[in-house]
Amino acid sequence: MATPTAPPPVAPTSNAVVGSQTQSPFGPAPDQRNVVADGRTTPSWYRTMAVITVVLTLVFAAVATAAALVTRSASQRLENSTAPSLIAVQDLSSSVAEADAAATAVFLSGQTGVEDRGLRNLYSAALSRSSRQTEQVASLIGADEESHAELQNVAVGLVDYSGQVETARVRSQVGQDNADRALQAALDLNRVEIAPSLSIVTDRAQEGFARDSTEGNYLGIAAVLVGLLALLMLVLLQVGMANRSRRIFNLFLLLGTVALLATIIVLGRGLLVRQVALSNAESGGYDSIVATSNLQSSVFDLQSDLGIGLLGNGRAETAEALLQIDEDVARIRNRAVLDESDREVAAVDLLEARLSRYRTSVESIAASSGSNQAAAIELFEGEGLSNFNGLNTAIESVLSDNRAQFNSGVAAASDSLWFVPFATIILPILAALGTILGVQRRLGEYQ
| Nearest-angstrom CA–CA distance, 308 and 317 | 11
Give the pLDDT of residue 112: 63
Give the pLDDT of residue 222: 94
| 114 assigned to some structural domain | yes
Give the pLDDT of residue 340: 62
Task: Please list, in sequence order, all residues whose beta carbon lies within 8 angstroms of the beta carbon of residue 209, skipping any fewer than 6 positions away.
Answer: 78, 82, 83, 86, 282, 286
| 113 assigned to some structural domain | yes
Q: Show the low-confidence residues of the chain (pLDDT under 50).
A: 1-3, 10-39
Q: Answer whether 0.75 is exceeded by the pTM.
A: no
Give me the phi and psi of 35, to 5 degrees please: -95, 130
Give the pLDDT of residue 312: 66
| Nearest-angstrom CA–CA distance, 354 and 395 | 9
| 179 assigned to some structural domain | yes
| 18 assigned to some structural domain | no
Give the pLDDT of residue 446: 63
Domains held by the chain: number:
1
| 257 assigned to some structural domain | yes
Give the pLDDT of residue 8: 54
Owning domain of residue 375:
39-442
Q: Where does residue 96 fall: left (phi above 0), alpha (psi -120 to 50 degrees), or beta otherwise?
A: alpha
| 43 assigned to some structural domain | yes
The pLDDT tens digits of the residues spanning 390-437 come to 888 888 788 777 788 888 888 888 888 888 999 999 999 999 999 999
| 155 assigned to some structural domain | yes
Contact in structure between 131 and 158 (CB atoms under 8 Å): yes
Give the pLDDT of residue 16: 41
Contact in structure between 344 and 401 (CB atoms under 8 Å): yes
| 34 assigned to some structural domain | no
Give the pLDDT of residue 316: 58
